[in-house]
Amino acid sequence: MGSEIERKFLLSHTGSRPSGEGILYRQGYLSVDSERSARVRIAGNQAWLTIKGKSESMTRREFEYPIPLHDAQDLLDHLCLKPLIEKKRYRIDVEGTCWEVDEFLGENSGLILAEVELKHQEQVIVLPDWIGEEVTDDPRYYNAALVNAPYSSW
Q: Locate the domains of the chain by residue range.
A: 3-153
For residue 148, CA distances in Å to 43, 46, 50, 89, 111 come to 22, 26, 19, 21, 15
pLDDT at site 19: 74
Q: Is 29 a catalytic residue?
A: yes
The pTM score is 0.90
Angle at 133 between CA 154 and CA 16, to 5 degrees: 105
pLDDT at site 128: 92
pLDDT at site 58: 80
The residue from 25, 29, 65, 151 that is catalytic is 29
Give the architecture-level CATH label for domain 3-153.
Beta Barrel (2.40)
pLDDT tens string 122-154: 898 989 999 999 999 999 999 999 999 999 999
